A and B are shown apart, each in its own frame.
Chain A
């Protein structure tokens, strides 16, 4: 199995855990995926959403900001971050 496939497995597992509200596990999987592909904006975004739904707001904010550094046009990350800053 090549490293791209391995990353994809972590992403798929992360999404599965996320939809099952198992946010801690989802966070672990997305972090694992990022350890092999640290500037992957999509995975960072999934990590940020998982932090936010897990009430880890400071970490979520940081992760959304990282997504926007890599991909300034990421509208979803921008709108989530703005919503968080309003509170």
Chain B
């Protein structure tokens, strides 16, 4: 299911950027910051930007934060404020909480209080730059030609069918670059688990199996079609 409603708390460089991207992708974004100057600066950039104290549960509740699909906590200055806000978001039953973190300790603490996902913006940016330096063509392809490389879960309707039979290239102008397959294992502790095997590039006769993920290159305007397939 596609997420539509987001709250972004803390509008520093990272928070402001994520709010802008989410809105560009068609999401409804409620952007919140405690600093009136930041809010004033950004008020023309987003549909909904408010000056508010996110450490107050009543304020969050009145703003409708309890109804969002996901909240992004991007507080750079105070680790304590981030932890407290996460607790309030949990209390408001926000289904997905994402937080910007700076250290492993910070990550550990936030996960303990209920953050579902963490991001290390500096580390992610560094990784992206390293990739770009080693493989200059990668991001250029993504940015300039309207093509995206995406990983999607194989819809149930694909299972048991071959790559050739699905005719993805003809129907959706999409090329299957790789299939990520889950191979069931029982680990040393007698636990059920799986190992991921990458089949790249798959042959036309390769049949999709339950649990597969597909890496596709396809035009931007067709990507959503795959995301909504059952």
Where the two chains meet, the residues of A that have a C-beta atom closer than 8 Å to any C-beta of B are 14-15, 18-19, 21, 23, 26, 42, 45-46, 49-50, 52-55, 57, 76, 78, 81-82, 85-87
**A15 x B210 contact (CB < 8 A):** no
Quick one: given A15-B186, A85-B116, A87-B153, are A53 and B211 in contact (CB under 8 Å)?
yes
In this complex, what residue of A is CB-closest to B152? A87
* B156 interfacial contact with A, CB 8 Å: yes
* B185 interfacial contact with A, CB 8 Å: yes
Mask, B162-193, CB within 8 Å of A = 1, is: 00000000000000000000101110001111
Q: By CB atoms of chain A within 10 A, which of B154, B184, B186, B209 has the most? A: B184
- Size category of the B interface is 20 to 34
* B194 interfacial contact with A, CB 8 Å: yes
- The complex places the Cα of A42 from the Cα of B187 at a distance, in Å, of 13
Quick one: given A76-B191, A85-B116, A86-B117, are A57 and B153 in contact (CB under 8 Å)?
yes
**Chain A contact residues: over half helix, strand or loop, or mixed?**
helix
User: Pick the contact of B192 from A49, A54, A57, A81 — CB < 8 Å?
Assistant: A49
By a CB distance below 8 angstroms, the chain A residues around B152 are 87
**B211 x A52 contact (CB < 8 A):** yes
Quick one: given A54-B210, A54-B211, A85-B96, are A49 and B159 in contact (CB under 8 Å)?
no
Sample (11) of A-B pairs whose CB atoms are under 8 Å apart: A49-B193, A52-B211, A53-B182, A53-B211, A55-B154, A55-B210, A55-B211, A57-B153, A76-B193, A86-B117, A87-B152
- The complex places the Cα of A54 from the Cα of B151 at a distance, in Å, of 18
- The complex places the Cα of A81 from the Cα of B96 at a distance, in Å, of 11
- The complex places the Cα of A57 from the Cα of B151 at a distance, in Å, of 15
**B213 x A87 contact (CB < 8 A):** yes
In this complex, what residue of B is CB-closest to A30? B192
Nearest chain A CB to B18 CB, angstrom units:
15
In this complex, what residue of A is CB-closest to B98? A85
